[in-house]
Amino acid sequence: MTLSTARGPSAPPALEVRDLAFRYPDGTDALAGIDLVVDDGERIAVLGPNGAGKTTLVLHLNGIRTPTNGSVTVTGLAVAKANLREIRRRVGVVFQDPDDQLFMPTVREDVAFGPANLGLDRDEIDVRVAEALAAVGMAHAIDRVPHHLSFGERRRVAVATVLSMRPSVLVLDEPSSNLDPTARRELAEIVLALPITIVLVTHDLPYALQLCERAVVLNGGRVVADGPTHLLLADREMMAANRLELPFGFDPLSVRSSRGD
pLDDT per residue over 76-91, tens digit each? Answer: 999 999 999 999 999 9
Q: 5 pLDDT exceeds 50?
A: no
* Confidence at 206, pLDDT banded by 50, 70, 90: very high
Q: Whole-angstrom Cα distance, residue 253 to residue 237?
A: 16
CB 221 within 8 A of CB 52: yes
Domain, as residue range, for 38: 15-96+169-258
Instruction: Give the per-residue pLDDT at 3.
Output: 56
* Selection from 63, 75, 66, 44 nearest residue 167 by Cα: 75
Determine what percent of the chain is predicted with pLDDT higher than 70.
94
Query: Is 137 a domain residue?
Result: no
Query: Is 118 a domain residue?
Result: no
Query: Is 102 a domain residue?
Result: no
Instruction: Give the per-residue pLDDT at 164.
Output: 97
What mean pLDDT do residues 192-204 have? 96
Query: Is 179 a domain residue?
Result: yes
Q: 6 pLDDT exceeds 70?
A: no
Residue 65 φ/ψ region, left for φ over 0, alpha for ψ in the -120 to 50 degree band, beta for the rest: beta
Give strand pairing partners of 215: 45, 227
Query: Is 25 a domain residue?
Result: yes
Q: Residue 178: which CATH number?
A: 3.40.50.300
pTM value surpassing 0.85: yes
Q: 214 pLDDT exceeds 50?
A: yes
Q: Where are the alpha helices (DSSP H) in the chain?
A: 54-61, 84-90, 107-117, 122-135, 151-163, 181-193, 205-211, 229-233, 236-241, 252-258
Query: Is 110 a domain residue?
Result: no
- Provide the number of structural domains found in the chain: 1
Query: Is 191 a domain residue?
Result: yes
* Confidence at 22, pLDDT banded by 50, 70, 90: very high
Query: Is 7 a domain residue?
Result: no
Residues 98-119 as b or e (16 or more Cβ within 10 Å = b): beebbeeeebbbbbbbbbbeee
